[in-house]
Chains A and B, each alone.
Chain A
Amino acid sequence: MMRGPRLYIAGLVAAMVIGMIIAACAGAAPTPVGSEEVAAPAPQQETKSTLDIVRERDKLICVGNANLPGFGFLDEQGNFSGFDVDFCRAVAAAIFGDPDKVEIRPTTAKERFTVLQSGEGDVLFRNTTWTMSRDTDLGLNFGPTTFYDGQGIMVRKDSGIQTLEDLNGASICVQTGTTTELNLADQMAARGIPYEPVVFETADEVTTAYEEGRCDAWTTDKSGLVSRQTVLKNPADHVILDVTLSKEPLGPAVRHGDDQWFDLVNWVVYATFLAEEHGITSENVDTFMDSKDPNIRKLLGLEGEFCAKVGLENDCFYNVIKMVGNYEEIYNRNLGPDTIFNLPRGLNSLYTDGGLLYAPPIR
């Protein structure tokens, strides 16, 4: 057999090539063609704070959403836009004085926490409900709630349904595998109301089924109900029940282990609340520069060195207000009366207006 040893050598060469390709796939990775060389953000690093990493990288990486109307999406020019995105921009404005130094890392609901934990993102703004298990088990710290949501139910006006009890025996469309489905089951079981759940995979399917009359009602977060109502054929024919089935406080989250970074994110959010409280907007902020009110002077960095306490320049909150706006501006820009959502402020009003937005004082 003459070809024996030769074939052996050929095979050996083949194996080496395979090995090299596999090694190349693993080893060539750090210097890939078309990669962006990003400084390594590492989880739980003792030596380098998150702020240092962000500064070194010269941009903030914000774990976000690209698929939620009003909260995070791409506009037609390819720029990220939305309520959550504006808060990411606010954090970037505070750190760099430039709201555009932010990269949104779009994630799915499943991978968002892993991406934050692995250090690929610095902060999470992704319509994430603050729950106890997420706060503890996942090693996250939740910042101040930026949006108080709650699960609601939409019915047809002519059905005459007004309370949960009226839904006795009704069929209710709901998205499968969500907390929404569980909340509905819990609430109905607690009240002993029999109903027929009709489950679908996506929100689009749920609304289509509801519109085609396959169910008497459908349920999701109230902000979602409002946004979907606007695109039903006759929005006026439908009504959202007053009852709220669950609490859904949505807010930012950061990793455990860097308290300065946690404080920074918290106080950027609080600054937007405080600015609204004092009536400071992105347009009139400069007129407040000669204000005598010590609260305003501290917020705008004219008195004391409060931004330095979270490691930033003294004008950090001024930049947030000037470049992104106060809470009301952010809200109205994305969800307010001028948008198709026209979402009432409700719980998301300042405490002075009967809402839940209450920022601690800057002192």
Chain B
Amino acid sequence: MASYVQTSQAETLAPPTERYTLLGWVYKHLLSPWYNLVLTLVGGLLLYAIFKPALTWAFTGARWAVIPANLNLLMRGQYPAEEAWRLWAVIFLLALAGGYNWGVWSKTVGPALITAFAIPWLLMLVPWFSWGTRLNLLIVEAVGLVGYALGRITPKQRSQWAVYAFLAYLLAMLLLLRGLQEGHPTLPMVPTRLWGGLLLSLLLAFFGIVFSFPLGVLLALGRTAERMPAIQTISVLYIEFIRGVPLISLLFMSQVMLQLFLPEDFPQIDHMLRALAAITLFSAAYTAENVRGGLQSIPKGQYEAAASVGLNGYQTMRLIILPQALRAVIPVLVGQFIGLFKDTSLVALVGLFDLLGIARVILANPDWLGTQREVYVFIAFLYWIFSYLMSYSSRRVEEALGVGKF
């Protein structure tokens, strides 16, 4: 007797496919209808007109020898060559701490740290690095993996260790970079005036971000604290004053004018520290405004809900409001931090040898007169690598945290 129920499974059909060949793709996207054809032709001609001279110059006319000859200056400025191992140690430790954080927080900040590990691979492609440098970069990757493994075996309830590791790293880094005192057998002091090149740019950006973020959050809380008019006024005055002056004027004040205001026998303040203070104070005001935007986006119901379960003001902020507010402003904050990284190039104008400053110095070397294009293209490439990876990793973090998805 025939059954109404089919006993055997029906044959599974492959989903209908649009058969895409390369030619088909080209035809569909570039050549039809007629106006796309015209656009393709015009675009192609434009690209040709732009890239032909650029590539011709890059491969035939450019004197790229200026880069390898001055690579040490570009990377670490006047930092003594015999102490260069300390810089590598700093990078190894960074990889270890970064890998550890990646292992512990693999769900949230992990994706961002994965992209950070792309940097050494990218840098290995720079044709002027020696094999020793490439080997060191490889060690960076290996150390990072070790850190990752350590992070994975750390029990979940010990995840605050990742934060301690990061703080310990900050101390170790400063100790290694600066050294102990003049003439110490293993760690002689390297005064900050010798720090330069990419090293200085990255340090200014790194510490600028690390210091300005908490300061900015506090300022944002201060500005929104309507029950405390004095604090609110101070925060508003600070934010509006800093946002009303250009960064370069703050830098000039700190580098040039500061010494005139101080008492006569006041010790000279370190130049790098002055620049860092100016950058931090400047960036904090902008961070505050961004965070305030996030705070305002939190509906009143959240405060009321927090109060109804018996949280006090501090707990409300820490557990309910700030996590949501900060998550909402990640893209803006990262944009601002990328801006801060690029703004560090302004310190070149007050006599510090950051990446841009050292480039200008190299151009003054009589042996390399007239190589400004080569040098500027190279440092632009370095700035681009770091800026792009910052923005890319922020996008990964946003995805992991589900920003924009409710």
Contacts and interface: CB of A to CB of B under 8 A. Distances in A.
Interface stretch (A66-74, A213-221, A321-329): A66-74
B389 to A, nearest CB: 26
Contacts of A29: 269, 273-274, 277
Interface stretch (B66-74, B115-123, B153-161): B66-74
Contact of A34 (B266, B272, B314): B272
B360 interface: yes
B305 to A, nearest CB: 12
A227 B314 CA distance: 66
A204 interface: yes
Given A67-B360, A76-B69, A3 B281 contact: no
A68 B364 CA distance: 5
A74 B362 contact: yes
Nearest to A39: B267
A230 B370 CA distance: 10
B317 interface: yes
Given A11-B227, A67-B360, A33 B174 contact: yes
Interface in A14-64: 14-15, 17-18, 21, 25, 29-30, 32-43, 45
Contacts of B280: 25
Interface stretch (A103-111, A192-200, A253-261, A353-361): A103-111
Given A11-B231, A111-B255, A227-B366, A25 B267 contact: no
Contacts of A68: 364
Given A18-B222, A30-B267, A114 B257 contact: yes
Contact of A43 (B264, B268, B316, B349): B264
B181 to A, nearest CB: 10
Which of A7, A17, A341 has the most C-beta atoms of chain B within 10 angstroms of its own C-beta? A7
Which of A18, A34, A70 has the most C-beta atoms of chain B within 10 angstroms of its own C-beta? A34
A73 B79 CA distance: 16
Interface in A221-241: 227-228, 230-231
A302 B361 CA distance: 42
Given A25-B280, A38-B267, A38-B268, A69 B225 contact: no
B312 A34 contact: no
Contacts of B350: 108, 111
Contacts of A8: 227-228, 313
Interface stretch (A115-123, A160-168, A244-252, A304-312): A115-123
A78 B73 contact: yes
Interface stretch (B138-146, B213-221, B338-346, B380-388): B213-221
Contacts of B73: 74, 76, 78
A9 interface: yes
A2 to B, nearest CB: 6
Contacts of B192: 34-36
Contact of B307 (A2, A35, A78): A2
Interface in B246-287: 252, 255-257, 259-260, 264-270, 272-274, 277, 280-281
B336 interface: no
A37 B230 CA distance: 38
Given A18-B218, A74-B73, A37 B267 contact: yes
B353 interface: yes
Which of A32, A37, A41, A120 has the most C-beta atoms of chain B within 10 angstroms of its own C-beta? A32
A289 interface: no
Contact of B366 (A25, A42, A45, A70): A70
A4 interface: yes
Contacts of B227: 4, 7-8, 11
Interface in B337-393: 349-351, 353, 358, 360-367, 369-370, 372
A40 B225 contact: no
B265 A35 contact: no
B53 interface: no
B294 interface: no
Contact of A118 (B174, B260, B358): B260
B312 A33 contact: no
A108 B351 contact: yes
A363 interface: no
A140 to B, nearest CB: 16
Contact of B361 (A2, A73, A120): A73
A301 B316 CA distance: 79
Q: How large is the interface on A (under 10, 10 to 19, 20 to 34, 35 or more residues)?
A: 35 or more
A120 B228 contact: no
Contacts of A79: 78
Nearest to B221: A14
Contact of B256 (A70, A114, A227): A114
Given A9-B313, A35-B269, A40-B266, A69 B228 contact: no
A152 B255 CA distance: 35
B252 A14 contact: no
Contacts of B266: 30, 40
Given A10-B317, A14-B218, A73 B267 contact: no
A117 to B, nearest CB: 8
A14 B225 contact: yes
Nearest to B311: A3
A32 B270 contact: yes
Contacts of A41: 268
A182 interface: no
B70 A76 contact: yes
Contacts of B364: 66-69, 72-74
A328 B303 CA distance: 79
Interface in A112-143: 114-115, 117-120
Given A18-B219, A25-B277, A78-B73, A42 B361 contact: no
Contact of A11 (B177, B221, B272): B221
B369 A14 contact: no
A147 B330 CA distance: 56
B77 interface: yes
A326 B338 CA distance: 51
Contacts of A12: 228, 231
Given A30-B266, A67-B361, 14 more contacts: A7-B227, A8-B228, A10-B312, A18-B215, A29-B277, A34-B270, A35-B273, A67-B364, A74-B362, A74-B364, A103-B193, A119-B259, A120-B268, A339-B366
11 contacts: A12-B231, A21-B215, A29-B274, A33-B178, A34-B272, A40-B265, A69-B369, A73-B366, A76-B69, A76-B365, A204-B363
The 5 closest A-B pairs by CB, nearest first: A7-B313, A42-B264, A35-B270, A231-B370, A73-B364
Interface of B: 69-70, 72-73, 77-79, 81, 174, 177-178, 189, 191-194, 214-215, 218-219, 221-222, 225, 227-228, 230-231, 234-235, 252, 255-257, 259-260, 264-270, 272-274, 277, 280-281, 303, 307, 311-314, 316-317, 349-351, 353, 358, 360-367, 369-370, 372
